[in-house]
Amino acid sequence: MKKYLILFLLLLIIMPSAAAWAGELPPAGEYTADVALSGGSGKGQVESPARVTIEDGIPTAVVIWSSPYYQYMLINEVYYYPINTEGNATFEIPVSFDEDMDIRAQTVAMSQPHEIQYTLRFDSATLKPRSEGGTGLPVMAAVLMAVIAAGLLINLKRKKV
């Protein structure tokens, strides 16, 4: 009996860290994550945290610049154009977490267009669900724990008979 109780308590302790250990993305949904921008002249900024969507295992982020003058972002030789027509330039781009993403962005804020090199870094440790409903991970953990607990109880009852 004590052996099963100890095993159950260990599972309770380990479960919250399991997703982090796996290094996998959370389930599909909408999140926010801190993003850091470096490079350029130091005048450009992006809003942080950024809105991140994970769909089919692919994370994308909405990057909102501090200026309306950015015409495109170039990432891995792919051009991304603003998704808005008013306000600060806003782009939806694929992201990688916890690694530097080298990008180039063209601005027309000066007398002529200039392509500027930047680095973006999205921090997975700050990934939080956007909705109150959560990501589904706590529900899955609760279901898994209930199944394990039921299995332990059934096993104990069989041994008593």
105 with 63, same domain: the answer is yes
How far apart, in whole angstroms, are the C-alpha atoms of residue 36 and residue 149? 43
Number of domains in the chain: 2
Q: Which domain holds residue 105?
A: 28-133
115 with 145, same domain: the answer is no
**What's the pLDDT tens digit per position in 9-34?**
555 455 544 444 345 788 989 999 99
105 with 147, same domain: the answer is no
Provide the percentage of residues in the chain whose pLDDT is more than 90: 57
How far apart, in whole angstroms, are the C-alpha atoms of residue 15 and residue 144? 9
101 with 38, same domain: the answer is yes
Which pLDDT belongs to residue 21?
38
Which pLDDT belongs to residue 19?
44
pTM above 0.85, yes or no: no
The residue behind tokens 């997703």 is 19
Q: Which residue has the higher pLDDT, 41 or 122?
A: 122
80 with 91, same domain: the answer is yes
